[in-house]
């Protein structure tokens, strides 16, 4: 629904027309083209807030998965095969470092409308790569 409203607002802006939209009270109001930029920034800002919350939840979930992998590694290490255990440990450390990097990046990022799209795209890509690495590690062990 938000995307539809944003689309209508942008079309109105491009056409230089006023646009009807629902206000907070649920009533229709006219949005002038000069107000469109402010509305677009607010929508992006809300998108960022939700994105950050979701990313932090996923990072916390990764922390739990890493702790589980470490516990599993310790139990496997007792069974023998120190070389395999050492490789497994290194892979877990790599996952943990990547997860910590993502945590730092989302924490340090200061919302800026001009680079938000590229930050989001790169962050999503890196989060996806981390998920693939998790799946690759858990499917082998």
Same domain, yes or no: 48 and 106? yes
Do the domain assignments include residue 39?
A: no
Q: Does 38 reside within a domain? A: no
Of the pLDDT bands very low, low, confident and very high (cuts 50, 70, 90), residue 17 is: very low
One domain, residues 82 and 116 = yes
| Residues 129, 87 within the same domain | yes
73 in a structural domain = yes
- DSSP string covering the chain: -HHHHHHHHHHHHHHT--EEEE-TTS-EEEE-HHHHHHHHHHHHHHHHHHHHHHHHHHHHHHHHHHHHHHHHHHHHHTTS-HHHHHHHHHHHHHHHHHHHHHHHHHHH----TTTHHHHHHHHHHHHHHHHHHHHHHHHH-
Whether 2 and 70 map to the same domain: the answer is: no
**Model pLDDT, residue 83:** 66
Task: Render pLDDT for 65-80 as a digit per residue (tens, 0 to 9).
Answer: 999 988 888 877 666 6
Residues 53 and 98 reside in one and the same domain: yes
Whether residue 57 sits in one domain with residue 5: no
* Rounded CA separation 79/75 (Å): 7
The confidence score (pLDDT) of residue 18 equals: 47
Residues 62 and 7 in one domain: no
Q: Which domain holds residue 19?
A: 1-31
Q: Quick one: 23 and 91 in the same domain?
A: no
Within this chain, do residues 129 and 103 fall inside the same structural domain, yes or no?
A: yes
Instruction: Work out the average pLDDT over 40-56.
Output: 81
Residues 14 and 75 in one domain: no
pLDDT in tens, 81-131: 666 677 888 999 999 999 999 999 999 999 888 898 899 999 999 999 999
In this structure, the answer to whether residues 50 and 106 fall within a common structural domain is yes
Please state the rounded mean pLDDT for residues 50-68. 94
Looking at per-residue confidence, does 122 or 10 come out higher?
A: 122
In DSSP terms, 31 is beta-bridged to 19
For the chain, the domain total comes to 2
Same domain, 1 and 51: no
Residue 37 within any structural domain of the chain = no
Q: Are 6 and 37 in contact (CB under 8 A)?
A: no
24 or 105, which is more confident: 105
């Amino acid at each position: 629904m938000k995307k539809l409203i944003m689309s209508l607002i942008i079309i109105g802006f491009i056409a230089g027309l006023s646009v009807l939209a629902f206000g907070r009270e649920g009533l229709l109001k006219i949005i002038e083209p000069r107000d469109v930029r402010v509305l677009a920034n607010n929508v992006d800002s809300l998108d960022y807030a939700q994105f950050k919350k979701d990313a932090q939840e996923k990072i916390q979930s990764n922390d739990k998965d890493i702790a589980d992998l470490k516990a599993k590694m310790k139990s496997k290490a007792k069974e023998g095969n120190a070389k395999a255990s050492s490789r497994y440990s290194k892979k877990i450390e790599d996952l943990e470092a990547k997860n910590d990097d993502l945590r730092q990046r989302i924490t340090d990022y200061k919302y800026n409308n001009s680079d938000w799209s590229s930050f989001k795209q790169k962050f999503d890509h890196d989060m996806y790569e981390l998920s693939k690495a998790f799946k690759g590690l858990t499917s082998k062990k």
